[in-house]
């Protein structure tokens, strides 16, 4: 009885082997590609849809991407060493509230005065940096921009904690991307925290009229109505993220929210 090789032929057998090998390689590539896409999505965006806790999760200091390349200029603190109140949800931070019932505390009075001033805004198209480190939006700014500024004010002097603001928007410290994410969420522009590298591909490319985000794989900051919101360059551990001084944008990718 003739052998299998003799019946099929050496040439045909070689072609069959090549076809089988190509099919195996294609299946391996597709499986690996799916895995990489899933890892990338999980690495860059934290879905908070199912999160209802108001306490910082235990995973808040877990890896959230590359280490902040400017952490040395951010007065970073370890989470275990921070004793600071929790921030409200971004949507609550950006909402102007009615006067508190009963006799308000001094802190409530100051907060309500600030909110009244912010609701009125300042003339022109540039936000104003106040002595207390908060920003007052321009009257001419869109409501979304005003809400971003109000949310930024809520955490402007919060501690810098690497990974802060990524396990939950509600935290007691924020890193660079956690800070930017919180402020943008206050304006309804973001539903989940993002790491700095993910902002390089977010929104529309180039600078915006009201908001420009400058992102790299290691750091992110933004300009809102002319003021810089940045964890790098603060005056101290409780220094304001709002800064009037410009900085070099070299090595960063500029993006902006559509329409802003």
Task: List phi, psi (to 5°) of 121.
Answer: 75, 180
Rounded Cα distance between 91 and 161, Å, is 22
Rounded Cα distance between 45 and 111, Å, is 32
Length of the chain: 260
pTM of the model: 0.69
Helices marked H in the chain: 4-8, 10-44, 90-93, 106-120, 143-155, 176-186, 196-199
Rounded Cα distance between 192 and 248, Å, is 28
Return the CATH fold of 63-256. Answer: endopeptidase fold (from Nostoc punctiforme) (3.90.1720)
Beta bridge mates, 160: 76
Which residue's entry shows tokens 């002319």? Answer: 226
One digit per residue, the tens of pLDDT, for the chain of length 260 reads 555 445 556 556 556 665 666 666 555 544 444 333 333 333 333 333 333 333 344 333 333 556 788 888 889 999 999 999 999 999 987 664 444 445 666 666 666 665 555 556 777 789 999 999 999 999 999 999 999 999 999 999 999 999 999 999 999 999 999 999 999 999 999 999 999 999 999 999 999 999 999 999 999 999 999 999 999 999 999 999 999 999 999 999 999 999 99
Contacts of 233 (CB under 8 A, 6+ apart): 73, 243, 245, 247
Paired sense of beta strands 128-129 and 135-136, if any: antiparallel
Please report the DSSP string for 83-117 in residue order: --PPPPPHHHHTSPPPPPSSS--HHHHHHHHHHHH
């Amino acid at each position: 009885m003739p052998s299998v090789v003799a019946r099929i032929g050496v040439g045909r057998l070689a072609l069959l082997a090549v076809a089988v090998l190509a099919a195996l390689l294609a299946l391996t590539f597709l499986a690996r590609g799916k895995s990489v896409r899933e890892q990338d999505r999980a690495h860059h965006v934290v879905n908070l849809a199912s999160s209802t806790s108001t306490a910082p999760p235990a995973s808040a200091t877990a890896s959230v991407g590359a280490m902040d390349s400017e952490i040395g200029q951010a007065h970073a603190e370890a989470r275990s060493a921070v004793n600071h109140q929790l921030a409200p949800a971004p949507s609550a931070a950006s909402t102007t509230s009615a006067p508190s019932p009963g006799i308000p505390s001094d802190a409530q009075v100051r907060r309500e005065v600030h909110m009244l001033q912010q609701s009125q805004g300042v003339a022109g198209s540039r936000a104003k940096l106040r002595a207390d480190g908060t920003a007052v939006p321009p009257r001419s700014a869109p409501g979304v921009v005003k809400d971003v500024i109000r949310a930024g004010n809520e955490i402007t002097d919060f501690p810098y904690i690497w990974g802060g603001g990524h396990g939950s928007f509600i935290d007691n410290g924020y890193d660079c991307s956690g800070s930017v994410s919180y402020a943008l969420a206050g304006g309804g522009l973001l539903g989940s925290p993002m790491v700095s590298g993910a902002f390089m591909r977010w929104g529309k490319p180039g600078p915006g009229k009201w908001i420009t985000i400058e992102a790299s794989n290691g750091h992110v900051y933004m300009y809102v109505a002319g003021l810089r919101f940045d964890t790098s360059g603060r005056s101290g551990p409780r220094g304001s993220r709002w800064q009037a001084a410009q900085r070099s944008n070299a090595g960063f990718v500029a993006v902006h929210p559509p329409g802003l």
